[in-house]
Structures are given as C-alpha cells and as structure tokens.
Amino acid sequence: MAAVTLLQARGLTRHFDGLKAVDGVDFELAQGEIHALIGPNGAGKTTFVSLLSGRIPVQSGTIRFNGRDITRLPAYRRVREGIAYTFQITQIYGSLSVFDNVALATQSRHSHRLADDTEAALARVGLEDRADQVAGTLSYGHQRLLEVAMGLALKPKLLILDEPTQGLAMGEIETFKEIVRSVVPEATVLLIEHNMDVVMDLAQRITVLNFGEVLATGTPGAIRANAAVQTAYLGG
C-alpha cells in the first residue's frame, strides 16, 4: 500500500466466555481513507471497534496508532491521541445545551478558542442555530448529528462511526454523507454500517468481518465480486 498507515492491528483477539467475538484480526487503516466495516449481526464489528477505541481491553494482539503502540492505553488517553468514537446508541448529555455538549469535546483538546471552535463544529453539521437548545429535546436525527459534531470537535485523526445512519430518514442520510466526505482527507474515517448503499457510496475500502474473523478486505468493487462474501453476507 502506498498510503501512510494510520492504524495497524495485529492478531487482535477478544473472547467472551468461549464466544470468539474477535479472533486474531489483522487490520490496517490508511491515512485519509474512508474505510467501512461490514458483516452480519454478531460478526464482532462493535467489539472490534471497542478494542480499537479502548472501551474493551484487548486480550491478545497489538494496536499501533500513528506510529505508537496503544494496546494498553486506556480509552480516554486514546481519545487524546486522536481516536474519536461516536456511539451506536446515541450518547449525548440530554440535560445540557447543544453548545455545552460540543464544548466539552472542544475543551477536551485544550482549545484556546472554546466558543469559536465549538460553533464551527456545530456549523459543520448544521446545528449552529440550535446551540442554546437543551440537547434532550432535539429530534433523533439532530441528536445523531450532535453526536457527530462532538466527534468532529475533538479534531480527531481517526473518527469511528458506529452505525451512524441507523434510524435516519433518507434526506438526513444524504446530509450525513456530505459531512463524512468533508472529514477526509484531514482525518480518517472508520464506519460500521448496515446500509449497503451508504457503504458502497462512501467507502474507499471495505473490510468484512464474520464470526470474529476477517473474511475479506478490498475496494467496494472487489468486495461486491467476492464469492465468499456473497455466500456469507450479501445473501448470495
């Protein structure tokens, strides 16, 4: 691969009571790409990104990020290293204002322009007019956007999006795709996604997980043509 490697996982493994949620996964992210992670339910996608973000401790294997071994780094330190994770189930501070939600992300990286940077992140997802609203009163689609804005405000090197379009309406999905495209190439995006249209449209490369193992990695075209993937996943 010609591009610079941002993240590299080797032999990543996590078992739960005998269930091989993630089993010896080798994985690489190139700087500035949009990489999609797909696979059937229970394939270990969320566990895998939880290992990357540090929410679940690694059993064996190593993770290198930006040239540094982060395998044993706690989650909050990985965030400071530049890995931002947005939750599958929306996790915003419902009782705080929209502004405060994003400001927390901004101040996490010790920004000296708290208000400006916060407003800029809100503007990128189109929530700048709702800065004073209590976050819990936003519509579901707006809450998802707020979640993304919090991720962007961290100015991450890697943005992990866990099923970001789930439950969104068609129009909202289009907005969302625009936002993701605007993130690269400054940052890299790792996307867990069920919506195949979104995946094929956005991703430059795709990794397919099945039973905790990597089934295939490649361009959308290659994945579409892959027989093993078709059997396991695309319903071939």
Partner 1 sequence: MTADRALWLHLGVLAALLAAHFIAPAYHHTNIARIMVLAIYAMGYNIAFGYTGLLSLGHALLFGAGLYGAGLLVYHAGAGAPAALVAGVLAGGAMACAVGLLALRTAGVAFMIVTLMFAQAGYLTILYFGSYTRGDEGIVIPRAARMLGGLDLSDDGTRYLVALLLFAVALLVNLALVRSPFGRIMVAMRENEERSRMLGFNPFTVKLAALTVSGLYAGLSGAAYGLLFGYVGASLASVQYSILPLLYVLLGGAGTVLGPFLGALLMFYLIDYASAVTDAHQFVTGAALVLLILFAPKGILGTLRARAIRWLP
Cβ nearer to partner 1, comparing 77 with 181: 77
Binding mask 110-129 for partner 1 (x = CB under 8 A): ----x---------------
Cis peptide preceding 185, ω within 30 of 0: yes
- Number of helices (H), then strands (E), belonging to the chain: the values are 9, 10
Residue 4 binds to partner 1 (criterion: CB under 8 A): no
Residue 53 binds to partner 1 (criterion: CB under 8 A): yes
Q: Which of 34, 49, 58, 103 touches partner 1 (CB under 8 A)?
A: 103
Q: Which of 32, 66, 100, 204 touches partner 1 (CB under 8 A)?
A: 100
Q: Pull the structure tokens for residue 30.
A: 């190139």
| Binding residue count for partner 1, defined by CB under 8 A | 27
Whether 127 contacts 145, CB under 8 Å: yes
Cβ nearer to partner 1, comparing 109 with 224: 109
Q: Pull the structure tokens for residue 142.
A: 């707006």
Whether 215 contacts 209, CB under 8 Å: yes
Q: Which of 48, 65, 87, 233 touches partner 1 (CB under 8 A)?
A: 87
Sort strands 188-192 and 158-162 into parallel, antiparallel or unpaired: parallel
In sequence order, what are the residues at sequence separation of 6 or more whose Cβ sits closer than 8 angstroms to the Cβ of residue 8? Answer: 27, 28, 29, 63, 64, 65
Stretch that binds partner 1, among 21-29, 94-102, 175-183, 206-214 (CB under 8 A): 94-102
Cβ nearer to partner 1, comparing 27 with 85: 85
Stretch that binds partner 1, among 5-13, 41-49, 86-94, 219-227 (CB under 8 A): 86-94
Whether 37 contacts 207, CB under 8 Å: yes
State the Cα–Cα distance between residues 120 and 118, nearest whole angstrom: 5
Phi and psi angles of residue 70, each rounded to the nearest 5 degrees, phi first: -115, 15
Cβ nearer to partner 1, comparing 92 with 199: 92
Residue 93 binds to partner 1 (criterion: CB under 8 A): yes
Stretch that binds partner 1, among 15-23, 59-67, 71-79, 176-184 (CB under 8 A): 71-79
Q: Which of 48, 85, 176, 233 touches partner 1 (CB under 8 A)?
A: 85
